Amino acid sequence: MAKRRKVGNLMALAVLAALTQRPMHPYEMASVLRAHGKDQDMKIKWGSFYSVVQSLARHELIEAVESGRQGGRPERTIYRITAAGRTELQDWERELVSTPEREHSRFKAALSVLGVLTPEEAVNLLRRRLELLQEQIADQRETLSDHLQKAPRLFLIEDEYELALRETELAWVRDLLGELTTGTFPDLAAWRAYHADATP
């Protein structure tokens, strides 16, 4: 079971990890996270970024080391990670890596009520999904291959994981389509009959 965190927003995990590199002011932290594509790895609401930073400081996971102003710019506070923040980061990372959690996806939600569509419409939509998945996987493979020329694999394993999930989804959708189009899907007749009976 997941531990209750003082600051549970995954953006906090990214901020703490960024601050292990060097002290930064919040604008720089956000720039580093964007440059490293963290908004592709986790759900980040940039509007709440500063409140996450403030919450980390309030819980003494990060601390201000200096505050200053350059020219007409607003005052900027530079933060560094504390010993407690480093401990929290490592503990949180250990939990996330070791403990599987059920994660809800929009596709799973759609599959849970697939019966509202006719089998024929479901087949057409799944074929479209299959085409898009094939395109996305080809793009992801090419991008990953390019990135591996420039960066160590350690910094790209989240992209490998996402690609593996997409490839697994592609295989599953292909199998489901096979069952629906060959008529081997169980209860296909009852599914069709449901829609025939529902027609006014």
Straight-line distance from the first to the last Cα atom of the chain, in angstroms, rounded to the nearest whole number: 49
**Of all residues in the chain, what percent carry a pLDDT higher than 90?**
70
Tell me how far apart the alpha carbons of residues 151 and 36 are, in angstroms, rounded to a whole number.
Answer: 11
Mean pLDDT calculated for residue range 191-200: 82
In the block, residue with structure tokens 């986790």: 42
Q: Which of 92, 97, 60 minimizes the C-alpha distance to 79?
A: 60
Q: What is the tens place of the pLDDT at every residue in 153-179?
A: 998 899 999 999 999 999 999 999 999
Q: Is the pLDDT of residue 58 over 80?
A: yes
| pLDDT > 70 fraction of the chain, expressed in percent and rounded | 94
**Section 78-98 average pLDDT:** 95
Q: Which residue has the higher pLDDT, 117 or 104?
A: 117
- pLDDT-derived band at 131 (thresholds 50, 70, 90) equals very high
CA distances from 131 to 90, 128, 151 (A): 40, 5, 30
Instruction: Provide the whole-model pTM.
Output: 0.78
Q: Which residues of 85-97 are buried (b: 16+ CB within 10 A; e: fewer)?
A: beebbeebeeeee
